[in-house]
A and B are shown apart, each in its own frame.
Chain A
Amino acid sequence: MHIASGFLSPPVWGTMAAVSGAALAGSLVVAKRHLDERRVPLMGVMGAFIFAAQMVNFPVLPGTSGHLGGGFLLAILLGAPLGMVAMTSVLVVQALVFQDGGLEALGANIFGMGVVPCLLGAAVRGLWLRPRPGRLADILTFAAGALGLVVSATGVILMLWLSGTLPSAVSLAKAVLVMDSVHLLIGMVEGVVSVLVVRFVLATRREAVLGTVEPLGAGEAAA
């Protein structure tokens, strides 16, 4: 759902750049406290993995494909601040090197694929810090992953609408319905993949996921 260049009006992309810039700045400040020796390599390879995974478009409906967002998964494994840093890096490389997503739309794209899913990922991260995450963690993570794409898709439509670039053939409500239904399907894939990858990384790199310092780690005390 990278917004291409030329579809957002200056007030809209300016606002989104300010919001995402503030979120990134805050993340960088807090990220320091989340970083430890084992998390830096994990952040690096997870960012590389998400870049790669985003290249794998899968069919969702006839003539329509989707790809993983990944911010949600990053925030579960790394916490929201490091997730934001990793996701922003992916989106910046995509925009600067691969012309994927407009440069002026970068803030909007960071918001939709970074800020929103990272907040949702942070919301379920606690479930995975417990000693033995069960079915509840799977189900809530799946649901939150799917919800993230629907929320972001709605956000994209609202940004286009506020920019006056929504296709004139369609009402706002219809546009939201069309985008949300496609992205619910993509989100369900996001949810399933997120659960599988979280389980794999937890099984193999639990210490790096938990970290030695977890400011918000209520679940960690039990570990």
Chain B
Amino acid sequence: MTAYNRRTLIVGVAVALVIGGGVSYFASSAPDGLEKFQEDLGSAAPPHPTVEAPPIAFQEYNFTWLGEGFWANAVAGVVGSLIVLAILLLVGYALKCRRPPVPRGGSAGS
């Protein structure tokens, strides 16, 4: 891996983890625009059968083993961000077909 890509990963992951693992704890707990709309106008109960993934380790962005609080939220933010990262790196490298590098005239962003 090139130094360029390593730096992209390190800085990007650091920013994501600080936001997902730390800053998100201080997020507003008020319902979002759609939830509030549905609560206010009396259709909070779903009229159709519900299909939801079973809560295995997380509930409402809290790691269930830790209950609620800063660390329960931090684990959720960190684990969720890293799962997304892993999926995208796998998909990205799987999709990237091998092809000769395209020579470019001049350097980009000079």
Interfacial residues, chain A to chain B (CB-CB below 8 A): 1-10, 28, 31-32, 35-53, 55-60, 63-67, 85-86, 89-90, 92-100, 102-104, 153, 156, 163-170, 175, 178-179, 182-183, 186, 204-208, 210, 212-213, 220, 223
Contact = CB atoms under 8 A, between A and B. Distances in A.
A167 B38 CA distance: 7
Contacts, number: 244
Contact size class for B? 35 or more
A104 B96 CA distance: 30
B100 to A, nearest CB: 11
Interface of B: 2, 4-5, 8-9, 11-13, 15-17, 19-21, 23-24, 27-38, 41-43, 46-53, 55-61, 73, 76-77, 79-85, 87-89, 91-93, 95-97, 101-102, 104, 108-109
B78 to A, nearest CB: 9
Given A65-B31, A99-B59, A46 B96 contact: no
22 contacts: A1-B34, A6-B48, A6-B50, A6-B51, A43-B92, A48-B84, A49-B19, A52-B16, A52-B19, A55-B61, A58-B28, A59-B28, A85-B88, A89-B84, A90-B84, A95-B53, A98-B61, A153-B34, A163-B48, A182-B33, A208-B8, A223-B109
Given A41-B9, A85-B88, A175-B41, 8 more contacts: A3-B34, A40-B96, A44-B9, A48-B20, A64-B31, A66-B32, A163-B48, A205-B8
